[in-house]
Structure 1
Amino acid sequence: MAPRRSRTKKTLSLSRTRPPIFRAKHTALSSKATRNLIRRHHRLLKKRAQALKSRDEVLAEKIEVQIQQNGGLESYQLASKLGQSLERGGDSSKFLIDWISPHLSRLEGTKSKLRVLEVGALSTKNACSMNPYLDVTRIDLNSQEPGILKQDFMEMSLPCDAADQFHIISLSLVLNYVPDAIGRGEMLKRCVAFLGKSPLSESSLQITPRLFLVLPVACVTNSRYLTERRLQEIMSSMGFVLEKSKETSKLIFQLWKHSQGLQPKRFKKEILRSGKTKNNFAIIVK
């Protein structure tokens, strides 16, 4: 048998990586292969963040090359999009629509819509986007299609007035993408600034703002540094109240109502449960 030829991989920036195998054949990926790609991507991002924190630019560059060889951001997005396809369990925003349906029914016969910010949007045709009572702003680091703005949520200008705020923010498998624990805490704090109670247009109806949060269930149930109780404490310190929650074998879906403005408490990284099989997912609030 002739020896296999090694393929030379060209290193490109995250936003420009276009792996042909994912463009043409991503539908053939098994669910196991999809999960493995996503896990490798998260693991490499974490290693790169640690290298940058220690100012080891040489190591950070080597890890960046590994990220590109793993397919880069676009491959991660395509794997995530495939994971949310109907044959893999469907669209997570269907839970959001189901949970807020009582509020949407109050908009019948009006021209009012709830303003939604979907962070890390992968599609313009999910349940959230197709609902006639929602005005959805979709953003992502690497836009996959027209209708999704290329925007880093952490670099968005803070709202100047109520018109720039949103009634609902969706963080579906976004918080776990942030490579460091401090960044996750900052993202949650930033969500508070973008949520507002402004009245709907042509209506005196006010909607209490909400945050739709989706995480891999292992981030909450199998972490050394984060438990359901600690997540509750972090969110409560920011003025959130848990309204709805659903857990599957792979994901946890939560709808948090933002009831009041509070000064967030500090939460450090500390061991809450021990065990060799536990992961290191954490949220630090400074």
Structure 2
Amino acid sequence: MALKKKRPQKSLAAGRPPILQRQPKSITRKSTKALINKHHLLEKRKKQALAKGDDAGVAAIDAEIQALGGLDAYQKASLQGQREDRGGDSSRVLMEWLQPCLTAHKEGSGRMLKMLEVGALSTQNACSQSGYFDITRIDLNSQGEGILQQDFMERPLPKDDTERFDIISLSLVLNFVPDPKGRGDMLKRTTEFLRAAGRYLEAPSLTTNFPSLFLVLPAPCVTNSRYLDEERLVGIMASLGYAKVESKTTQRLVYYFWRREGKGIARRFRKEEIRAGSTRNNFAVVLGYIMDLMSRRAATQARILDIW
């Protein structure tokens, strides 16, 4: 009688069904884009529900956002976009533009320039590793050490130049603001945190680029919007005292580098259709409503005083 071949004993663990599958290293570009777009849409709907006082609607939308993974999932999707195979770190474009100026500044033993990075996702981007910047990083939902959890719109205003910055980075931040007026308010608020133009007497080579704003948006926000194109964006920024120094457009993103030249001339930019078409998106920036309201109030008060 032939002996049966003895099989090696399996461990108990080998006989158990897998409890937790290893998470994939990344999600596809299509899934990343869908998650980000859905998050933006929900934030916009939430803003509208809040304006109407629809508490039940706000609660329902919050539940949808949490089902998607909340702000944390949105940021992880955004981080995927900074991988080399997804377009990489947007601050590399900024460093390419600034390298000649920064090299000359460093050779002159100049001070490190102060940068405020709004919506920071990493402490290891090109600007952080360059050695030229003293960076303050803030984000609504900090992803790690070195990034302060803070809302830029609620950050205390600087008391003096020691608390102001030479450059502000808004990389894929403005498009996250859910309404056009809020985007205009954010751009206007950047001017409060920058040093005054012409304050580089100790380093004249810096005046061609600083103080400045680095702005990155998804390309369709400018190239395929009903309410915004580059000409209109340049006009909005000029009214805030910014001049365009550099720009770059890729299939996915638009990059802008703006130099702050002064206070600008206040203008009102409504949400007006400038390009028709059923395939256009509704991204817009509205500027001037708060300023107009304050002016009307001041005029009303002046008339009352005249009467008395």
TM-score range, shorter chain: 0.7 to 0.9
Query: What is the match of residue 146 of structure 2?
Result: 147
Query: What is the match of residue 83 of structure 1?
Result: 81
Query: What is the match of residue 7 of structure 2?
Result: none
SS at structure 2 position matched to 1:108: helix
Query: What is the match of residue 302 of structure 2?
Result: none
CA contact (8 A) 1:107 1:133 kept: no
For 2:36 and 2:25, the matched residues in 1 are separated by: 15
Query: What is the match of residue 298 of structure 2?
Result: none
- Which residue, out of 50, 67, 70, partners 1:69? 67
Runs of 5+ consecutive residues of structure 2 not aligned to the other structure: 1-19, 289-308
Query: What is the match of residue 278 of structure 2?
Result: 276
CA contact (8 A) 2:26 2:80 kept: no
- Give deviations 1:13-44, integer Å, cap 9, x for gaps: xxxxxxx99xx736231111111111111111
For 2:52 and 2:169, the matched residues in 1 are separated by: 32
For 2:139 and 2:266, the matched residues in 1 are separated by: 26
- Which residue, out of 243, 246, 249, partners 1:244? 246
Alignment of 1:105 onto 2:107: no
What is the deviation of 1:107? 2.6
CA separation of 1:38 and 1:276: change in aligned 2, threshold 3 A: same
CA contact (8 A) 1:93 1:127 kept: yes
Aligned length: 263
What is the deviation of 1:224? 1.0
Runs of 5+ consecutive residues of structure 1 not aligned to the other structure: 1-19
What is the deviation of 1:199? 5.4
Alignment of 1:119-134 (within 5 A): 119-134=118-133
What is the deviation of 1:182? 0.6
CA contact (8 A) 2:174 2:186 kept: yes
Query: What is the match of residue 13 of structure 1?
Result: none
Alignment of 1:196 onto 2:195: yes
TM-score (norm 1): 0.88
Alignment of 1:56 onto 2:54: yes
Query: What is the match of residue 180 of structure 2?
Result: 181
For 2:272 and 2:55, the matched residues in 1 are separated by: 28
For 1:105 and 1:112, the matched residues in 2 are separated by: 12
The amino acid of 1:62's aligned partner reads A
What is the deviation of 1:241? 0.7
- Give deviations 1:85-137, integer Å, cap 9, x for gaps: 11211100001111111221123242511100000000000001111111111
- Give deviations 1:207-246, integer Å, cap 9, x for gaps: 3211000000101111111111111110011111111010
For 1:277 and 1:256, the matched residues in 2 are separated by: 29
Query: What is the match of residue 94 of structure 1?
Result: 92
Query: What is the match of residue 237 of structure 2?
Result: 235
CA contact (8 A) 1:26 1:79 kept: no
For 2:52 and 2:146, the matched residues in 1 are separated by: 38
For 2:128 and 2:160, the matched residues in 1 are separated by: 24
Query: What is the match of residue 214 of structure 2?
Result: 212
Identical positions, percent: 49
CA separation of 1:108 and 1:235: change in aligned 2, threshold 3 A: same
SS at structure 1 position matched to 2:88: coil
TM-score (norm 2): 0.82
SS at structure 1 position matched to 2:105: coil
CA contact (8 A) 1:107 1:113 kept: no
CA contact (8 A) 1:26 1:78 kept: no
SS at structure 2 position matched to 1:118: strand
What is the deviation of 1:261? 1.4
